Amino acid sequence: MLGCGSVGSQVVRLLGEQADDLAARVGARVELAGVAVRRLDAPREVDVPADLLTTDAAALVARDDVDLVIEVIGGIEPARSLILSALENGASVVTANKALLAEDGPTLFEAAEKAGRDLYYEAAVAGAIPILRPLRESLAGDRVTRVLGIVNGTTNFILDKMDTSGAGFADALEEAQALGYAEADPTADVEGFDAAAKAAILASLAFHSRVTAADVHREGITDVSAGDVRSAREMGSVVKLLAIAELRPTPEGDDAVSVRVHPAMIPRSHPLASVREAYNAVFVESEAAGQLMFYGPGAGGSPTASAVLGDLVTVARNHRQGTRGVGESAYADRAVLPMGETRTRYHVAIDVDDRAGVLAAVAQAFAEQGVSIQTVRQEGRGNDAQLVVVSHEATDAALAATVDKLRDMEIVREVTSVMRVEGTEE
């Protein structure tokens, strides 16, 4: 095992406590050969026998008697080099490393293929929730068309707090940090980098194509205001940070992959709307199965260790049988649709002068971009009025251009909220 932080410690604990069950399920005892750590004397949640600890990770993965390497260091290097070296040496690998898989998955998959070994990574997306195996095995006979996921617990906690208490982003973040749901430097979570890595992994599996973090359009939640959340509430919706991967027709009529992470309003009746606090959930739409949802804890040492050990049992059983599980499946090789060409829907709230012709002018701004309007709500407030417009689907570029135009119009005092809408209209 490489790394012994909160996930690694729980893996060690479970390997000990459930040794007999694991042996019965694998068909052979699983023995911890060594644990590579940065500092031998660091405090740990679990007692690791001193003779198993080493600071020489490279030597550990090169050992002849190691059949399987669990990588729970995280980050790009040295994780990548160690995984590649483990595969070259004939070991299979179980990893929880979403950042590495999203950045450079194909290199790892090719190395696993070449070595004839397994590379499993259920723990990399949505912690304990079994989602990768259902996507790549249970739904292998179906055609997945869309995956909508709440895959980052920190941002869901913050947005849930803003929804229930009316707090602004800064206050909700502070509370999340105080409770241990957000890190001191929350950038990876609140700017959507973590969710984007998971979106890339989900898109790759769902659509049998290579999708990397660089393909993901990414917007975080730092600009989500108390007003946005209130505006969502007024229309029976809630704001969630969604990882979205869907098949969308290109102008040429092929299926391309749209993959993105951004805050969006979804109706409160949508199954994802009731995902509270730091929980995760992944909603999958497919041609034959219809709508499925997978829900559970998306992080934490013990849940993530559960996913690691599930992979370990499979990989160890494959090893004993001299076989491999499903490798990378990228045969479909679909293109990624640029965000501007992706069809989305916008919710736009605008403060305007309350006088005749205003609604007509605003409607004209939408029409000029070919955007059709689904609903408009107008509310007078003395001299000014608030207009809330929800569009039908249009290209994201046309919707963004419409908002730019609105901001420039003299009768528009302020565009107070702009947010995409998901989970309703096809």
Q: Does 6 help bind a second copy (rule: CB under 8 A)?
A: no
Report if residue 303 touches a second copy, rule: CB under 8 A: yes
- In sequence order, which residues have a C-beta less than 8 Å from that of residue 74 and are 6 or more positions away? 3, 96, 97, 99, 100
Cis peptide before 130 (omega within 30 of 0): no
State yes or no: residue 274 binds a second copy (CB under 8 A).
yes
Q: What is the DSSP letter of 210?
A: -
Q: Which of 171, 222, 255, 294 binds a second copy (CB under 8 A)?
A: 294
Partner residues linked to 388 by β-bridges: 349, 377
State in angstroms the smallest separation of the CB of 227 from a second copy.
Answer: 28
* First-to-final CA distance of the chain: 45
237, 281 contact by CB (below 8 A):
no
Residue 104 in tokens: 């450079």
> Considering only 177-185, 257-265, 320-328, 345-353, which stretch makes contact with a second copy by CB under 8 A?
320-328
Q: Which one, 324 or 392, has the nearer CB to a second copy?
A: 324
Interaction of residue 310 with a second copy, rule CB under 8 A: yes
> Which of 12, 14, 159, 247 touches a second copy (CB under 8 A)?
14
Options 199, 312, 336, 388; binder of a second copy; rule CB under 8 A:
312
Q: CB nearer to a second copy: give 133 or 217.
A: 133
Regarding 328 and contact with a second copy (CB under 8 A), the answer is no
Nearest distance in Å: CB 76, a second copy? 26
Measured in whole angstroms, how far is the alpha carbon of residue 157 from the centre of its chain? 15
Question: What's the CA dihedral at 311, 316, 319, 324 to 10 degrees?
Answer: -10
Residues in the chain: 426
Does position 3 interact with a second copy (CB under 8 A)? The reply is no
Among 32, 33, 167, 313, binds a second copy (CB under 8 A): 313
Give me the phi and psi of 366, to 5 degrees please: -70, -45
Residues with catalytic annotation?
Answer: 198
Dist CA 90 CA 110 (whole Å):
14
- Report d(CA 177, CA 164) in Å as an integer: 17
**Site residues (CB under 8 A) for a second copy?**
10, 14, 18, 21-22, 24-25, 122, 128-130, 133-134, 137-143, 208, 271, 274, 286, 288-297, 300, 302-303, 305-314, 317, 321, 323-324, 326, 329, 331-332
